[in-house]
Amino acid sequence: MKKLTLLLSLLLISTSVMAAEHVVLQKGKAFVENDSVVESLTLAVGDSIRFVNEDPFFHNIFSLSDLSTFDLGSFPQGDSRTVTFDEAGSMEIECAIHPEMYMEVTIQ
């Protein structure tokens, strides 16, 4: 039993180490990763996105997808919010303040 517990904890540790954090900026009313506008992003199950607001005004990132919903609330320049994606599928991510902001995330 002890061995099994040890094995399970090792498994949990390695899974959390493998999960990646993607940094997506809100910049010029767009989602930006690595200096380019990102309209779709593919992640692995367990990965997360840290949304960082670099605009001098508020953004309110949310998703109403079937897969999962979230609402990060409005947050100002310099603030960030993180979302972890635990299920495979795809979802649309939008901004409640700027309807032109849209990103599709595929989790596999």
Report the distance separating Cα 54 and Cα 97, nearest Å.
15
Write down the least CB distance from residue 30 to Cu ion, Å: 9
- Segment interacting with Cu ion (CB under 5 A) among 40-48, 55-63, 65-73, 82-90: 55-63
H or E, element range at 58 = none
Contact between 59 and Cu ion by CB under 5 A: the answer reads yes
Of 17-46, binders to Cu ion (CB under 5 A) are none
Rounded CA-CA distance 37/68 in Å is 24
Q: How far is the CB of 54 from Cu ion (least distance, A)?
A: 11
- Structural element, H or E, at residue 5: helix 2-18
Among positions 19, 32, 45, 97, the unique one binding Cu ion when judged by CB under 5 A: 97
Q: Which of 95, 103, 105, 107 binds Cu ion (CB under 5 A)?
A: 95
Q: Are 61 and 93 contacting, i.e. CB atoms less than 8 angstroms apart?
A: yes
Query: Closest separation between CB of residue 26 and Cu ion, Å?
Result: 6
Distance (Å, rounded) from C-alpha 55 to C-alpha 78? 8
Task: Give the footprint of Cu ion on this chain (CB under 5 A).
Answer: 59, 95, 97-98
